[in-house]
Structure 1
Amino acid sequence: FWPGMENDLSLGRFITTEITRGYFLEHNEAKYTERREKVYTCLRIPKELEKLMTFGFFLCLDTFLYVFTLLPLRVVLALLRLVTVPCCGLRGSRLLQPAQVCDVLKGFIMVLCYSMMSYVDYSMMYHLIRGQSVIKLYIIYNMLEVADRLFSSFGQDILDALYWTATEPKEKKRAHIGVIPHFLMAVLYVFLHAILIMVQATTLNVAFNSHNKSLLTIMMSNNFVEIKGSVFKKFEKNNLFQMSNSDIKERFTNYILLLIVCLRNMEQFSWNPDHLWVLFPDVVMVITSEVAVDVVKHAFITKFNDISADITDLDHAD
């Protein structure tokens, strides 16, 4: 206080006190240190998250390329074994190992679904979707995203059930409906999921080719709704790791969809490289919005749940 103002209760004393009073932050050292660490954690999130996303992207890419490169070779080797083992008189050995049985099933599913997809008219699908209003396409795209997540979750169970049913030891008591019904369910699932991905790519293609770009803007702004549904929930490390895996898969799927859209558009313009630069701003906008949403979402989830930004904590979560 100023001298002579100890008993002064006037407005002037109040203003003078507010102007000259100090802050005793050292009395709450732990509190402010913790808040500073939270700021540092949020600043580290983009770097650490992108390291995880990059690692996950290459894992997804490896799995994706495996289906079109190594899997056909494994199927051929399995079929050769299926032919040569009986001819060589090796009666005591199994015709196919469990891994080879799974490879053959995967190969048959791919061939059948590819044959079925060849009858789908993409041009008709494109014009049918393009004829819808913007709000309808927005709703359709949201429904497709939800359906894709549901299909991915349940579809993996269908495939795993098929592989286990086909390779289950014969000594065990039969508790399944048979390999053929499981195989037909797997073929139906893969075909329907492929149709769903094609509709997603077509809808995104329509958004890219629309004149006012309003649909593309609405679709990208919808990503930010995901923040509202995630950041205020309670998350443990395991839950955060599962969500990170889902984000990796979603981002990889979006990259594949963008690749399909670019290839379709380049094909329409006779592979003119100049048209690629026309698509480039929209592609950057889609990728940027996806990255921004993931960064903001993970930053606030780690802040609200006091989770470290270190990737090793996520990788070693029990």
Structure 2
Amino acid sequence: MYRKAHESDLWRIYLSLLRFINAELTRGYFLEHNEAKYTERRERVYTCMRIPRELEKLMIFGIFLCLDAFLYVFTLLPLRVFLAMFRFITLPCYGLRSHRGLRMSDRRLLQPAQVCDIFKGVILLICYFMMHYVDYSMMYHLIRGQSVIKLYIIYNMLEVADRLFSSFGQDILDALYWTATEPKERKRAHIGVIPHFFMAVLYVFLHAILIMVQATTLNVAFNSHNKSLLTIMMSNNFVEIKGSVFKKFEKNNLFQMSNSDIKERFTNYVLLLIVCLRNMEQFSWNPDHLWVLFPDVCMVIASEIAVDIVKHAFITKFNDITADVYSEYRASLAFDLVSSRQKNAYTDYSDSVSRRMGFIPLPLAVLLIRVVTSSVKVQGVLAYACVVLFYCGLISLKVLNSIVLLGKSCQYVKEANMEEKLFNPPPASTPGKPLGKSQSKYKPTQDENLSASVTSQPVHQKENAAPQLVTSNSDQFLTTPDGDEKDISQDSSESKHTSAKKDLLEIDRFTICGNRID
């Protein structure tokens, strides 16, 4: 009896096991019961697939913006300095007679933009001659004698120092420009133009030396036999993914990081150009050696692109940011370019790029001129004729690049519906004082269009109002709250709302080194 009961229990267990296996093999489930969740997951996959294309479109546009500001130093800046010096020399001879009825502030010899151009040219010239006292060959052999680990640490320290220099450098230059052009009747609270000028020269010189050390370290990595240093330096880019992907990012923070990546990529391109020039000089400009460098150059560029794509793809995934945000970033950069061409522009375009991306072209230009003049020997009339033709080609490239960028920028601004913001600049007011009723905003007529505004010359503003940097809300479409956020913001006070929302025009070199905007 006991045996039969035991067999029956075993048979039931066996049947239960068969039913379990059958249930596991034939068990079904319905994904449509959680449709929203799976739709969201699919959209995330599509977003990650769209990130490379949208990111590279932003990167290409930003790199050409940096190229335009960089070419400006070599092409238009010398011509503008020449015209300013010509005006400074010739205007006192015949121009002051027609200015007798004007105020003293309006009878200035040079306009503020011309004063800034002269300072830029003088700083560039002085730093170029100072760079002749820096021996590149001695620096190369000194760096080459160090160990691989020490060079890796040095290169990381140089990257941090470059960001710090970029963050503080444009402040020094802006302080010089404003000190030199500040109205004379205004009470001055500064140390003087000459100390600011020496500070600017010292900054550009030190920053140029720092970039030279970066280029030399990269050159040592290219010329090492086992390529271990180059591999370690490239792997350092992937460490950047670990430091960025798992942090919380908002749209404004991602815009800040995108600008920093654009500046970093363009700077690396110039560093690679310097490395190629130095190596080609050492091998007597043998074209066969260029093909030896080509794989390493492509490897460095490919690693930069891959790191940027992976980093931005996972940042957007973890923070639920759509790929369309890169089109908004591109429209914001385009707005900077278009607004700098208006009559009431507050700043030069190259300075606008410096503030937004942290890219300061003067130190990089000083180093490139120093490397080119030491690598290329110009002797004879034919060589000088080639230099003149090359300069004309650079001017043509600058003009072509500016025209294409201006056209594309107008297109991006129109697509983002930002034309009205171009015609409504904020009125200039004294810092710390509210706007009076007499200070009315500029309202354009209906027949004024975008193309007419961006090709006009700047108009001199009255000096009774203090000039300010542009604080236009050009990018408020990136910080506009959604429906749920609007309900929350209506309950909060106005001061809290304005402090919580950051305008993208305020995201510049000051926040390049940080991960969050407090």
TM-score when scaled to structure 2?
Answer: 0.59
Partner of 2:406: none
Partner of 1:208: 222
Match status 1:266 vs 2:280: yes
1:111-190 residue pairs with structure 2 within 5 A?
Answer: 111-190=125-204
Shift of 1:9: 7.9
Which of 28, 31, 39 is the aligned partner of 2:34? 28
Work out the CA distance in 2 between the residues paired with 1:165 and 1:230: 39
Further displaced range: 160-169 or 125-134 = 160-169
Shift of 1:33: 0.5
Query: Unaligned regions of 5+ residues in structure 2, if any?
Result: 1-12, 100-106, 332-474, 480-518
Partner of 1:56: 62
Work out the CA distance in 2 between the residues paired with 1:289 and 1:12: 54
Counterpart AA for 2:322: S
**3-state DSSP of counterpart to 1:29:** helix
Work out the CA distance in 2 between the residues paired with 1:223 and 1:10: 56
Which of 90, 95, 98 is the aligned partner of 2:109? 95
- Residues 89 and 58 (structure 1 numbering): CA distance in 2 closer, same or farther, change over 3 Å? closer
Match status 1:312 vs 2:318: no
Shift of 1:23: 2.2
The CA deviation string for residues 101-128 of structure 1, in whole angstroms up to 9 with x for no partner, is 1000001100110010011100000000
Partner of 1:4: none
Further displaced range: 233-242 or 189-198 = 233-242
**3-state DSSP of counterpart to 1:10:** helix
Counterpart AA for 1:13: R
Match status 1:295 vs 2:309: yes
**3-state DSSP of counterpart to 2:249:** coil
Match status 1:84 vs 2:90: yes
Work out the CA distance in 2 between the residues paired with 1:94 and 1:285: 54
Work out the CA distance in 2 between the residues paired with 1:212 and 1:270: 24
In the alignment, is the contact (CA less than 8 A) between 2:54 and 2:327 conserved in 1? no
Shift of 1:296: 0.4
Partner of 1:282: 296
- Residues 11 and 176 (structure 1 numbering): CA distance in 2 closer, same or farther, change over 3 Å? farther
**3-state DSSP of counterpart to 2:244:** coil
Shift of 1:12: 2.6
Query: Unaligned regions of 5+ residues in structure 1, if any?
Result: 1-6
- Residues 149 and 9 (structure 1 numbering): CA distance in 2 closer, same or farther, change over 3 Å? farther
Further displaced range: 11-20 or 151-160 = 11-20
Shift of 1:24: 1.1
Partner of 1:234: 248
Work out the CA distance in 2 between the residues paired with 1:283 and 1:194: 22
Partner of 1:106: 120
Shift of 1:267: 0.9
Partner of 1:192: 206
Shift of 1:242: 1.2
Partner of 2:237: 223
Identity %: 86
Match status 1:251 vs 2:257: no
Work out the CA distance in 2 between the residues paired with 1:258 and 1:89: 49
Partner of 2:3: none
Work out the CA distance in 2 between the residues paired with 1:17 and 1:222: 51
CA RMSD of superposed structures (Å): 1.5
Further displaced range: 166-175 or 61-70 = 166-175
Aligned length: 313
Which of 47, 68, 72 is the aligned partner of 1:66? 72
Work out the CA distance in 2 between the residues paired with 1:97 and 1:12: 93
Work out the CA distance in 1 between the residues paired with 2:16 and 2:116: 87
